[in-house]
Structure 1
Amino acid sequence: MSYTFDPLVPRPIDRPTDVVVGPLTAERSAALDEAKIFSGPADPADRPAWREMLRAWRSDARARHGYTGAAYARPEAAWAARCSTVAQVWLWDELLYSFEERRFTPERFLADAAERFGGLDAVVLWHAYPVIGLDDRNQWDFYRDVPGLDALVATFHEAGMHVFVDYNPWDVGTRRGADDLTELAAVVAELGADGVFLDTLKKAEPELVARLEAARPGIVLEGESKLPVERIEDHSSSWAQFFADSPVPGVLRAHWYERRHMQHHVRRWHRDHSEELQSAWLNGVGVMVWEVVFGVWVGWSRRDAATVRRLVTVQRAARDLLLDGEWTPLAPLSPDAEAAGVYASTWSLDGVTLWTLVNRGESDYAGQVLATEAAERASGRLFPFTDGQAGSAPGTSADVVVPGRGIAALLHVADGVADPAWLPDLLDALAAVPHDPDARFPHRLARRVGEAAAQVTPVTYAPVGSVPPSGTSEPDAVVVPQGAYALTVRYRARETGMYQGAPYVDEWKPLPPRLHDARTLQRDGTLPAPVAVAAAEVTNAQFAEFLAATGYTPAQPHRFLAHWAGGVPAAGDEPVTYVDLDDARAYCAWRGGRLPTEDEWQLAGEAAPGLFGVARPGTGVWNWTESEHSDGRTRFVMLKGGSDYRAADSDWYVEGGRHAPDYSVKLLLPGLGLARSATVGFRCAWEVRA
């Protein structure tokens, strides 16, 4: 079924739910059960009745669903309620992995997170999508086959962080092992993971919950999007993705139902995160930091990163207030503050009250924020902070600066009540995390990573047998003439994007027809000299000849020629596979050539589609090209040709099958040998000299 929609506007299911004040009928209860966010009323006079309605619903819903809260009493899972920040991290993010050093670099990743976001409480190690489907490796292989992954998890644990693994329930068409419950429980136990992210699932079924709990007591499950109210019972967290708030900030339904249930706000494609950060601040929940979205840079602005730093600094110090204090959403404020778009929640416990303040407006608000009745009760000590201020004004309502599109806070300590033990350290910490008004998007452009010669350790290879002299192509190679060219490239829209930039900027949730549809782009350039591209892929036998002649040994041997038995290739003329870019570059250099660029490959293929296209002879494998790119956070390469392998039954896989020469796939490069695949080989190219 086809339909149209505006991707820049929240869908009906993303929007907040109006709270109708009155008798709590079955119909109203059901509507509130289904909410993501309860809308906040615009008129301050309506808010007391609105809050009472929310309390009535919570009491009724807990009774209807037989809520016990047992999952939150598990001591091993108590950390989840205090997890303010979780980062989605592609395992091969260049902050976390160095392609040059061929090792994980958690020290670099943690230093960056500390500087920009005030540190992280947890990470999700994203592993398989969007690479899975290139060959028959399943989602468990992409964890189990990573050398040193257990040590990386241990390093995060030593840094005081918790680690989630990712579960892809849609992975049904790759190599089959045991059932998903058995495999996931085993991976959790093997890696010592603390939680599971339920990709595309709002909830895990009870049997999966039980199996994971048995494998790792206290396991935290975090579903995507809206968690059904009855499953708040056994899911400690939820991934609050694409939650649209009301103009007057509303209340997160799941967190209102159970304060210990942690939610992480995120809008993955948005460049302005101020609204979800403000919602997190007013609701006392966390945020997801996600800058490399499946291979596409969607970095956070300095303003939003600074807001995260300030948010987590206060939340970590005052978490007991946020968990156990009396929560009053949309607490009364002064008329001037309300008129400026300033809103607040309060959290009160044993004579200590925290006001969490947000400013929906673009301009800073400076002035009193407390309502007259609150100011009259404000005897004691009042501490304004997170806005560049730090100090006290005993017995009075201090002026506060609430930055435009930002957050601020007040802490009141009643007469006769000691200051919280954490207050001095908090005030010192806040002095180092001022608001930053710079909301510009930090663009990154992917650039080609050098030329072939720069990628291969210089080695002099002695020609043997019939190997042509340096610079001489094979006799049947397809010659592409020099000069200007213009190409049309076909591809499937994926979350990886293509050469540059995010494919779904500021969109809510990409849906068909925009997600996974067929697209084209134009590329042009100039060849300074003719280029000859081999008519066929390098075979196993040819690669064996190269090894015998040169003694080549890869710097990272993992998975190198994994299909060869005892180092001996199978008989026949099959294309060599289980080689990565560096292996292919080394072979081509020995042959006096290099890998073709993606444009050279396509130009040759369009000139001789019978040798490069769908009907090409022999076994079909994808081809490496000299098109390695990096934006400093993600490495990728363009593949050409297509393979005979096709993972079935899910649209999330890398597309398989053979393709015409104009078709390209952007493959994110994994490290530590995982780029070596059963379905990827290569051809050589030579610059034709006069």
Structure 2
Amino acid sequence: MHNGFNPLVPRPIDKPTDVPMGADADLSVLDDVKIFVPPADPAQWPAWRAQITRWREEAAQRLDYSPAMYDRAEATWAQSCFTVAQVWLWDELLYDAEAMAFTPEKLLADATERLGGFDGVVLWHAYPVIGIDDRNQWDYYRQVPGLKELVDYFHSRGVRVFVDYNPWDTETRRSGDDVTELAALIKELEADGIFLDTMKEANPQFVAALEEARPGIALEGESKLPLARVTDHSLSWAQWFADSDIPGVLRAHWFERKHMQHHIRRWNRDHSQELQSAWINGVGLMTWEIVFGVWVGWNQRDAATLRRMLPTLRGMSRVLVDGEWMPLAPLASPAHQASVFASRFHTGDATLWTAVNRGTHTYSGPLLCETAAATDAGPALDSATSWADDLWFDLATGAQLDTPSSPVTIPAHSIGGVLRVCRAWEAEARDIMAQVAAVQWTENAEFQHRRALRVASAPEPSGHTPDAIPAHVRVDAGEYTLTVEYRMRETGMYQGAPYVNEWKPLPPRLHDVRTLEREVTVPRPLAVASREVTNAEFLAFLEATGYTPRTEQSFLAHWDKGSTRTPYGQPNAGTEDQPVTCVLLDDAHAYCAWTSGVLPTEDEWQIAGQNARATASDVQNSFQRLTPAVWNLTNSEHSDGRSRFVFLKGGMDYLITDSDWYFDGGVRKPEFSAKYLLPGFGMARSANIGFRCAWPLATNEN
């Protein structure tokens, strides 16, 4: 807890808001809230509904609101975009690191099987690697081979594509003003939407420029969208929204039913509250299982709930958007007494009761009354007898009901409800209910951990004697306890999410420097090179071996390409003794193997740096940083099957201080480690990342 802030509970601004009651109440105070709180007394619900309806009418008049944007044919898709996935562009379900190829079919197959499929994806691209050099956010899209084809594939599968905009990216190289760059990008990729990272809204001029470039482009603001911007932002991200015990109403969606919101709490391992709020409000969910390289996958119960919800949400989207919405609709007494609540969405052809069970036990019983008799919550069905020839279904199981008051099933802390359709909608309804019935329900809410395992490198060479290798720092075999310093970012470090079940991690928790203790074993004595490999040394390697990288993208990009000395040029004059950069782990492994050496692990690198600091007077044991200082790759590649990363050591001269979202910069002491998520193709290569070698020592040397 920092300064009285408890990260495990909602902040005051996240909590739902009471609605002022009374004819003279000033309802403008509701313009900026997240969720409207219902009264505890059901007898007050009709007056509460009337009050939020009055607020909506008055707010529309105050703002001179126009829904014209939502009525354009090219923009209507957003109204039924019920699931959007935040997808790390290099998720190993989307990108095969060995084949160096995108595999969207794998991502979508997994999403369909476990989560019911995606309606849209946000291709998250730059954070948390941007800032390792001067590449800007546009470079991290434009330098990706086959990105347009990837977007086209998603479109062919009916999945909409959002690009990510980072307004905080102000200190990397400037290639044009943001709106011009973003407009060009969405036009090139034919993107459908823009996710406004860290932004609640874009200003009207920004929106107009994007609309001109790509008519119908959808903007999704993060968190609480200002009411005045509902007119030109067709979606918003309902992040950090706390609901009340009696389910509340989402302010932005109540104001404009065509405005789509996506519930999300990224660090949660229990998504039942988000699912219930989305269901009762008729909106969507954001799934985010790879949070910047950290696995926070959905548990089986919540995934099954989402699979149950989506067929109805998608199939009945017009009822949800155009139908008459009654929050906290009247229910049968047993349901009300069991803490079951529902919204009613009604048209002449179909009616949905989207119900949630706030209780701790599965509810089995009637949700509705077959007649208009009074209940604890008021009349149950309006003109129920006129619906006698219609069809009725249980939304939790897909089963057809004999009567409106037939028992339904609603699991504890889950969703259910009733669907009524006229005979003309029978085929459509039965198809939807067949999809619901096919979902195998489970109560298993156990979090499925993923271990990040070290990726094996090439076999080690035989041991050397110290006089047979270059200047080095010795690392003895044995057990070590290392204190590692790192900056706590959303990437975490070795295992697990950094902010499990936290409401919203804020500075200083979000970016503070922390330490961890590592118990490590060095299995054999090792000599770690005193300095990084230079450009001249890497040139000699190329000339001696004819080495060809698996991908040539950005390979030795800092060299003079006008030279024919190698197919990749040669070092620029005057840079021969500078550290070689713009290399991948594969390139570094190949060079080290050529010297009969290996890359040191992050632990071996740290021990060598600390040993050298303790014996600084010994020239042989010096531990140098060449100029310019660059991060050093280590033999620490890890994968959990969804994300790959490596630990960098040493720091770099390059430093961006304008935003904490940039990668770690500056020269660092040996104890500091930086977790570097590995972009695909050759994009992990950087002008500020080099390496040094190490050599196993013979165990019988003195």
TM-score category, normalised to shorter length: over 0.9
**Cα offset, 1:425, TM superposition:** 1.1
- Distance in 1, matches of 2:500 and 2:114, equals 22
Q: Count matched residues.
A: 673
**Cα offset, 1:334, TM superposition:** 1.9
**Cα offset, 1:337, TM superposition:** 1.2
Q: Could you say what secondary structure the match of 2:262 adopts? A: strand
- Check whether the contact 2:486–2:674 (CA below 8 A) recurs between aligned residues: yes
Match of 2:560 in 1: 565
Deviations 1:549-580 (A, max 9, x none): 11110111111111111211123300000001
- Check whether the contact 1:598–1:625 (CA below 8 A) recurs between aligned residues: yes
Corresponding letter in the other structure for 2:662: Y
**Cα offset, 1:263, TM superposition:** 0.3
- Check whether the contact 1:385–1:430 (CA below 8 A) recurs between aligned residues: no
Could you tell me which of 491, 503, 519 is aligned with 1:524? Answer: 519
- Check whether the contact 1:313–1:426 (CA below 8 A) recurs between aligned residues: yes
- Distance in 2, matches of 1:233 and 1:613, equals 64
Could you tell me which of 487, 493, 510 is aligned with 1:498? Answer: 493
**Cα offset, 1:648, TM superposition:** 3.0
Q: Does 1:584 align with 2:588?
A: yes
Q: Does 1:158 align with 2:160?
A: no
**Cα offset, 1:436, TM superposition:** 2.2
Superposed, 1:85-164 pairs within 5 Å as 85-164=83-162
- Distance in 2, matches of 1:617 and 1:145, equals 29
Corresponding letter in the other structure for 1:250: G
Deviations 1:625-672 (A, max 9, x none): 000011111101000000010123111101101000000000111011
- Distance in 2, matches of 1:595 and 1:472, equals 19
Distance 1:41 1:68, change over 3 A: same
- Distance in 2, matches of 1:570 and 1:469, equals 33
Match of 2:420 in 1: 412
Q: Could you say what secondary structure the match of 1:210 adopts? A: helix
Match of 2:438 in 1: 432
Q: Could you say what secondary structure the match of 1:585 adopts? A: helix
Distance 1:418 1:472, change over 3 A: farther
Corresponding letter in the other structure for 2:459: A
Match of 2:681 in 1: 672
**Cα offset, 1:84, TM superposition:** 0.5
TM-score for the superposition, normalised by structure 1 = 0.95
Q: Does 1:15 align with 2:29?
A: no
- Check whether the contact 1:382–1:397 (CA below 8 A) recurs between aligned residues: no
Corresponding letter in the other structure for 1:202: K
Match of 2:330 in 1: 332
Could you tell me which of 258, 262, 275 is aligned with 1:264? Answer: 262
Could you tell me which of 331, 335, 341 is aligned with 1:343? Answer: 341
- Check whether the contact 1:136–1:647 (CA below 8 A) recurs between aligned residues: no
- Distance in 1, matches of 2:94 and 2:487, equals 28
Match of 2:477 in 1: 482
**Cα offset, 1:352, TM superposition:** 2.3
**Cα offset, 1:483, TM superposition:** 1.1
Distance 1:617 1:426, change over 3 A: closer
- Distance in 2, matches of 1:222 and 1:613, equals 53
Match of 1:195 in 2: 193
- Check whether the contact 2:289–2:296 (CA below 8 A) recurs between aligned residues: yes
- Distance in 1, matches of 2:128 and 2:488, equals 12
- Check whether the contact 1:87–1:124 (CA below 8 A) recurs between aligned residues: yes
Deviates more, 1:204-213 or 1:367-376: 367-376
Deviates more, 1:433-442 or 1:29-38: 433-442
Superposed, 1:268-307 pairs within 5 Å as 268-307=266-305
TM-score for the superposition, normalised by structure 2 = 0.93
Match of 2:231 in 1: 233
- Check whether the contact 1:473–1:688 (CA below 8 A) recurs between aligned residues: no
- Distance in 1, matches of 2:121 and 2:301, equals 22
Deviations 1:263-320 (A, max 9, x none): 0000001110000111100111000000001111111011111111111110111111
- Distance in 2, matches of 1:145 and 1:659, equals 29
Q: What is the root-mean-square deviation in Å for CA atoms of aligned residues?
A: 2.0
- Distance in 1, matches of 2:466 and 2:46, equals 82
- Check whether the contact 2:650–2:667 (CA below 8 A) recurs between aligned residues: yes
Could you tell me which of 378, 386, 400 is aligned with 1:391? Answer: 400
Could you tell me which of 312, 315, 333 is aligned with 2:313? Answer: 315
Match of 1:75 in 2: 73
Deviations 1:426-476 (A, max 9, x none): 12222211432111111111110113439xxx9x9xxxxxxx989986331
- Distance in 2, matches of 1:66 and 1:156, equals 37
- Check whether the contact 1:538–1:681 (CA below 8 A) recurs between aligned residues: yes
Match of 1:600 in 2: 604
- Distance in 2, matches of 1:432 and 1:617, equals 62
Q: Could you say what secondary structure the match of 2:459 adopts? A: helix
Q: Could you say what secondary structure the match of 1:608 adopts? A: helix
Match of 1:42 in 2: 40
**Cα offset, 1:353, TM superposition:** 1.3
- Check whether the contact 2:464–2:697 (CA below 8 A) recurs between aligned residues: no
Distance 1:138 1:304, change over 3 A: same
- Check whether the contact 1:669–1:675 (CA below 8 A) recurs between aligned residues: yes
Q: Could you say what secondary structure the match of 1:214 adopts? A: helix
Provide structure 1 residue ranges, at least 5 long, that are not aligned to the other structure: 461-467
Match of 1:632 in 2: 641
Sequence identity percentage: 59
Match of 1:5 in 2: 5
Provide structure 2 residue ranges, at least 5 long, that are not aligned to the other structure: 374-378, 562-568
- Check whether the contact 2:367–2:417 (CA below 8 A) recurs between aligned residues: no
Match of 2:565 in 1: none
Distance 1:562 1:42, change over 3 A: same
- Distance in 2, matches of 1:453 and 1:49, equals 74
Corresponding letter in the other structure for 1:268: R
- Distance in 2, matches of 1:473 and 1:32, equals 76
Q: Could you say what secondary structure the match of 2:198 adopts? A: coil
- Distance in 2, matches of 1:483 and 1:469, equals 18
- Distance in 1, matches of 2:545 and 2:593, equals 11
Deviates more, 1:577-586 or 1:308-317: 308-317
